Amino acid sequence: MSDNAGITRRALLAGAAGAGVLAPMAGADVGPMAGEGPPPPSPGRAVLLRGGMVLTLDPAQGDYPRADVRLEGSRIVDIAPRIEAGDATVVDVGGCLVIPGFVDTHRHMWQGQLRNLLPDAVLGEYVQRILQEARPAYTPEDVFLGTRLSALGALNAGITTVLDWSHVGTSPAHADAGVAALRDSGIRAIYAYGSGAPGPENAWPGDLARLYREQHRGAEDRLGFALAAGLDPAPWAHARELGLPVSIHVNSTDALLPVAEHLDSQMIYVHGCRLSKAEWRLIADTGGGLSIAGPIEMQMGHGIPPYQQAIDHGVALSLGNDVETSTSGEFFTQMRTAFAVQRMLAQTAAAEGASAPALLGVREILAIATRGGAEVLGLADAVGTLAPGQRADIVVLDPGLLNVAPLNDAYGAVVTAMETANVRDVFVDGQALKWRGRLVGVDLGALQTALARSRASIVRAAGWSGDPLAPFSR
C-alpha cells in the first residue's frame, strides 16, 4: 500500500490509544454492575440461554412462552422448550424476552461526537453545519472515534446490525478508520463507502476496490461493504463490479425515472417521502429495499415517512436512525414512530371517509425492526430471526423494570414501553458484547476523554463556540 492509500488498523488503534482511547480489553466489564453475578460467557464456548420467552420473528418457528436457545460458535443450533446443557455455559434468561437483534439500515456513524448538536435543525442547516463546516475538519482519528461511539451506542441499545452510510471518505485513511472502528466495536455492519470533503486525497469512488480487497474477510465476516452514492449512476459501476449493494438518498419526485435502467435488487433507498407512484412501481419491480428514518424525516422537512406506501407497493421496508445530531441512536423511538404515524394516517383516512389501510400492530412493527432490516440489507438468511442455522445475533430484554412490569403483552412491551435500560444482554455471532446491562470490554472513561478532545478540535476548526448553550456563536 502506498503511504497515502490508507492507514492500518494497528496504526490507527495505536494512535487512538495515545489520545486516550483504548482498544477493547478482554474481560473488562466496565460500569456500576461490573462484578455482579456471573461473568459473560467466554468467547468460543457453547452457550445455552435457559428459560426465556423467545420471540423468534420466524413464521416457521413461531414464539415460545418458555424455551432454551443453544448457541455454538457464531450460530444458533437449537431452540426448544428444554435442551440439555452438556458442555455449554448456561445463561439464565428466565423472566426475560429473547429476540433477534435490531437491524438499523441507515446511519451516519462518523458523527458520533456531534450527537444532539442540531435538535432544531432543518435539512439545510444540517448540510451547512455538518457537511460543509464540520466534515472538512475530521481527521481519520476523529472518524474512528465518532464511528466507534455510534457503534457502541447501537450495541448498548440492542442494535446488532447497522449500515454505516459513511460519507466522510475524504481520503483512503478516513475510510480505513471507519472500517477499523466498526471491527473494533464488534457490531455486524455494512460499511457503505461514501465521498467526503473535496480535496486531492479524496479517492471516492475508485478506492472502493482497494478497500474491499484489503478489508473483506469472506462470507463469515461480520463486516460487509456497499457504496454510498448519489443519483448519478456512473459511480455505481464500482460497486457493481464487486457485486456490492448501492445505497442512495432519494427524496425528489421522479428523480429515479431517468436512471431506471440502472436500478436492481441490490439498491437500498433512503427516505423516499416524495416518490411518485411511477417510482414506487419501479422500486417494486426491480426489487430494491427502503430505509425510513421517521423522526428525522418529520423534523428536518423531508416529508411524511412513507411506511404505508412501501407496504402498499410490496417494497421491503426497514428502519434507520440516520443522524444522531438530531435524534436518538436507539431503536425504540424508531419503532414507536412507525407505529404511531402509520396508525394516525390510516385512522385519519377512515375518519374522512377514504379507503383506509389496515392498522399495523406491534408484531408487524417488531418484524420491520428486525427481519425487515435484514431483508433490505440482503442478510435475511443470516440475521433478523431466531432459528437453527442463523447467526447468533440475540438480544435479551428485561421486562421486570419499573417502566414495563408487570408484563402483559410481550410484543407490546418491546414496541410501546421499553428503552435502552431494558436491554440486558447482547450477543453478536454468539459473543456477549453487552452483559448484565453493561458493555463488555469497553473503557468508557478513556473513550470519553478521547471523544472530548476530538469534539473540541472539530468545534475549533468549524468556527463554533463549543458552548452547549450557544453552540453556533461566532
Q: What is the CATH number of the domain that holds 266?
A: 3.20.20.140
Q: What is the pLDDT of residues 377-407, one digit of tens each?
A: 999 999 999 999 999 999 999 999 999 999 9
278 shares a domain with 168: yes
Q: Which domain holds residue 388?
A: 47-100+384-439
Q: Please report whether residue 28 resides in a domain.
A: no
The answer to which of 8-12, 79-83, 271-275 has the lowest mean pLDDT is 8-12
Q: Average per-residue pLDDT in the chain?
A: 93
Confidence class for position 12, pLDDT limits 50, 70, 90: low
Which of 358, 376, 394 delimits the end of a domain?
376
Q: Is omega for the bond preceding 205 within 30 degrees of 0, making it cis?
A: yes
Say if residue 318 is in the same domain as residue 431. no
Q: Which three cell numbers stand for residue 264?
A: 436492481
Indicate if 135 and 255 belong to the same structural domain: yes
The 3 state secondary structure assigned to 127-194 is HHHHHHHHHHHCCHHHHHHHHHHHHHHHHHCCEEEEEEEEEEECCHHHHHHHHHHHHHHCCEEEEEEE
Residues 6+ apart with CB under 8 A from 10: none
Last residue of a domain, one of 376, 409, 427: 376
How many angstroms separate the CA atoms of 463 and 155, rounded? 32
pLDDT class of 88 with cuts at 50, 70, 90: very high
Q: Rounded to whole angstroms, what are the CA distances from 449 to 34, 256, 435?
A: 21, 45, 23
Shared-domain flag, residues 216 and 145: yes
The average pLDDT across 158-172 equals 99
Q: Where are the alpha helices (H) located in 315-443, listed in sequence order?
A: 332-351, 362-367, 373-376, 410-416
Chain centroid, CA 272 distance in Å = 19
State the total domains in the chain: 2
Q: What is the three-class DSSP state of 467? A: strand
> Which pLDDT score, from 0 to 100, does residue 37 have?
79
Q: Where do we find the cell 443450533?
A: 77
- Three cell numbers at 11? 496504526
Same-domain pairing of 356 and 391: no
Query: So what's the pLDDT on residue 473?
Result: 77
Q: CB-based contacts of 442: which residues, under 8 Å, 6+ apart? A: 24, 28, 30, 152
Residue 133 pLDDT class (50, 70, 90 cuts): very high
In a domain, 314, yes or no: yes
CB neighbourhood size of 82 (10 A): 9
Calculate mean pLDDT across residues 322-343: 98
Q: Are strands 394-397 and 289-292 parallel, antiparallel or unpaired?
A: unpaired
Of 261, 291, 260, 287, nearest to 276 by C-alpha is 260
* Contact call for residues 43 and 217 (beta carbons, < 8 A): no
**Does residue 339 share a domain with residue 292?**
yes
Is residue 454 one of the residues assigned to a domain?
no
Report the pLDDT averaged over residues 233-239.
98
pLDDT of 214 strictly over 80: yes
Q: Which of 323, 348, 376 is the last residue of a domain?
A: 376
Q: Are residues 197 and 321 in the same domain?
A: yes
Whether residue 269 is contained in a domain is answered as yes
The mean per-residue pLDDT over the stretch 325-353 comes to 97
Q: What angle do CA 395, 162, 149 make, to 5 degrees?
A: 90
pLDDT exceeds cutoff 80 at 462: yes
Q: For residue 353, give every residue at least 6 positions away whose Cβ sits within 8 Å of its Cβ, in sequence order, or none.
A: none
**Residue 141: what pLDDT?**
98
Q: Looking at the domain assignment, is residue 244 inside a domain?
A: yes
Q: With a cut of 80, say whether residue 165 has pLDDT above it.
A: yes
Closest CA relative to residue 159, chosen from 451, 428, 442, 474: 428
Please give the pLDDT value at position 11. 53
Q: Specify whether the backbone of 353 is left (phi greater than 0), alpha (psi in -120 to 50) or beta.
A: left
pLDDT for 313 beyond 50 = yes
Q: Are 224 and 249 contained in the same domain?
A: yes
Residues 162 and 252 in one domain: yes
What's the rounded mean pLDDT across residues 298-305? 98
Cβ atoms of 434 and 156 within 8 Å: the answer is yes
> Does the pLDDT of residue 30 top 70, yes or no?
no
User: Is the N-terminal amide bond of 406 cis, ω within 30° of 0?
Assistant: yes
Residue 415's pLDDT is 98
Residue 16 resides in a domain:
no
Please say if the pLDDT value at position 20 is more than 80.
Answer: no
247 and 392 share one domain: no
Nearest to 110 by CA among 159, 136, 137, 148: 148
Whether residue 203 sits in one domain with residue 132? yes
Closest by CA position to 430, among listed 151, 77, 97: 77
Residue type, 51: G
Residues 202 and 338 in one domain: yes
Q: Which percentage of the chain shows pLDDT scores above 90?
A: 91
Read off the pLDDT of each residue in 111-121 and give the average, rounded to a whole number.
97
Residue 414 covered by a domain: yes
The predicted pLDDT at position 2 comes to 36
Which cell goes with 374?
Answer: 435484514
- Report the percent of the chain where pLDDT is more than 70: 92
Summarize the confidence of residues 276-283 as an average pLDDT. 98
Q: In the numeric block, which cell numbers belong to residue 254?
A: 421522479
Q: At what angle do helices 140-156 and 9-18 cross, to 10 degrees?
A: 90
Domain-embedded: residue 165:
yes
CATH code of the domain containing 434: 2.30.40.10
The whole-angstrom separation of Cα 37 and Cα 208 is 45
What is the Cα–Cα distance from 341 to 363, expressed in whole angstroms? 16
Reference 443, options 141, 28, 41; nearest CA is 28
